[in-house]
Amino acid sequence: AQSVAQPEDQVNVAEGNPLTVKCTYSVSGNPYLFWYVQYPNRGLQFLLKYITGDNLVKGSYGFEAEFNKSQTSFHLKKPSALVSDSALYFCAVRDMNRDDKIIFGKGTRLHILP
Amino acid sequence: EADIYQTPRYLVIGTGKKITLECSQTMGHDKMYWYQQDPGMELHLIHYSYGVNSTEKGDLSSESTVSRIRTEHFPLTLESARPSHTSQYLCASSEFTSGPYEQYFGPGTRLTVT
């Protein structure tokens, strides 16, 4: 079965430092991977996606993600964290074996410390 | 921001009441979804639709029902609300294509059943 895992429930980073939010996946075939962000009392917002091609994908708000096929990872990164980046982040994978549904990870809460 | 709307944003209602959560999108997307999410937790797919007159149950068993009479409208109904239905309900939509696609989310409805 297709799945994604976010090994960290929470990540704390000082403002101005680089941040990484980890995601690993398990799929058969080529993965279609996504990152979403959720601010308090809001729906999810799409950040970026990997389809094919360049392993470094750039997205909204200065975020980027690195696709690593050998490690089956798709970590979210940002060179310099802002306090406003504090939110809940979800990694997701498209499940092509189950009606093209998107499977979400359990989420990682990112705290940026001023 | 995506053009997908949910009403009401917040609802407090007594046990046994019938409620309908509204979801509309103006993007002409064929696929629509309902997720249930406890605050700050993972998403659970409860219903989805491929298009008009199409409805499918998701991964999480739910006592709610949905309908899709118009492309832009995907309401969710609880015939008899119970405290166990207290949660946040997120509606989403996406294009119905064979390629990779992201889902666009509404702001959510936070439901409290007393």
Instruction: Output the six-digit token pair for A63.
Output: 């975020």
For chain A, the distance separating the N- and C-terminal CA atoms, rounded to the nearest angstrom, is 40
Please list, in sequence order, all residues whose beta carbon lies within 8 angstroms of the beta carbon of residue B108, skipping any fewer than 6 positions away: A41, A42, A43, B6, B9, B37, B88, B89, B90, B91
User: For the segment B19-62, what is each residue's pLDDT rounded down to a tens digit?
Assistant: 999 999 999 999 999 999 998 888 999 999 989 999 999 888 78
Q: Closest partner residue to A101 among B45, B91, B100, by Cβ?
A: B45
Proportion of chain A above pLDDT 90, given as a percent: 76
User: For the segment B52-103, what is each residue's pLDDT rounded down to a tens digit?
Assistant: 999 999 888 788 999 999 999 999 999 999 999 999 999 999 986 656 678 9
A82-104 mean pLDDT: 87
- CB contact under 8 Å between B108 and A43, yes or no, is yes
pLDDT for position B2: 61
| Cβ contacts from A onto B, under 8 A | 52
Taking contacts as CB-CB distances below 8 angstroms, the residues of chain B near A102 are 103
DSSP 8-state secondary structure symbol assigned to residue B83: G
| Cα B89 to Cα B106: distance, rounded to the nearest angstrom | 9
**Other C-beta atoms lying within 10 Å of the C-beta of residue A80:** 12
Check if the beta carbon of residue A54 is closer than 8 Å to that of residue A111.
no
Q: How far is A34 from chain B (nearest CA, A)?
A: 8
